[in-house]
Amino acid sequence: MLNSHEFGNLCALKIEIMSNPSIDIGKLIRESRETLLNPKEYFSSMPLGGGFTEPVIKAAIYGTVAGLFGLLWNVTGLSAVGGGLWGGTVGIMVLIWSVVGAIVGVFISGALMLVVSAICSGSTDYEANVRVAASLMVVYPINVFLSFFYGISMILGGLAGLLVSFYSIYLLYTAAIQALKGKESSARILAIVLLVLSLIGFIGGQRANKAVRNISDIMQQEQLD
């Protein structure tokens, strides 16, 4: 999937970032807002070339914001880990790995996006797909932000995650058609399949949580007896 020229661009990525250190936060905010609120217009006009520096910076910033939310929820106890010193320590690692994972993940997501685009008979240019993947990562910090619902209720957390998944699939569908010029019929079928899988995953997760709670209640009852 990568030709020699694209591989060379990847190898030179660190040099590109060091030689172009400026970050336009205002532009990033505008693009993020347009991606979420006007995806059809944004993806139909977004640039699909210009190097890997911009999408990597975008992914790193999204990862940083997501990591900060993860740190906050761990410190305050609105997470599975809980609060206190342990929660803060784990939260720092969540922040670090969130940034690293976002940078690495944008290239992996670009490859997955390329597969999706190919299925829909769209663009198979790797750089274009990486740029689309970076834009789609706008939902990453939103998903982590809404994860505080898990600290309130597993059902609420699961519902929030399901809604984010549904909207992410819509953005994916829109990007495949508008930015990568895939066939709408193929993209629609793929989106429906992903929606069904997300719903199945949600139902399965809720059943698993219920089973764990039931086992925990039985064990507590046995200890009392």
- Is the model more confident about 199 or about 3? 199
Task: Round to whole Å and give the CA distance between 199 and 75.
Answer: 31
- The alpha-helical segments, DSSP class H, found in 120-183 are 126-136, 139-146, 154-178
Residue with tokens 């994916």: 172
Q: Which residues contact 196 (CB under 8 A, 6 or more apart)?
A: none
Name residue 67's amino acid.
G
Q: What is the pLDDT, as a whole number, of residue 6?
A: 46
Task: Round to whole Å and give the CA distance between 116 and 96.
Answer: 29
Percent of the chain exceeding pLDDT 90 equals 56
Are 162 and 197 spatial neighbours (Cβ–Cβ below 8 Å)? no
Residue with tokens 């999408």: 55
222 pLDDT band, cuts 50/70/90, is low
Q: What is the pLDDT, as a whole number, of residue 25?
A: 86
Domain ranges of the chain: 4-224
Cα–chain-centroid distance for residue 16?
Answer: 24
**Minimum mean pLDDT range among 68-82, 110-124, 166-180, 210-224:** 210-224
Are 101 and 73 spatial neighbours (Cβ–Cβ below 8 Å)? no
Average pLDDT over residues 27-51: 93
Task: Round to whole Å and give the CA distance between 144 and 94.
Answer: 11
* pLDDT, the chain, mean: 83
Q: What is the pLDDT, as a whole number, of residue 209?
A: 73
For residues 130, 136, 141, 144, the Cα torsion angle rounded to the nearest 10 degrees is -110
22 pLDDT band, cuts 50/70/90, is low
Rg (CA), the chain: 20
Phi (first) and psi of residue 125, to 5 degrees: -80, 120
Nearest to 137 by CA among 109, 175, 115, 178: 109
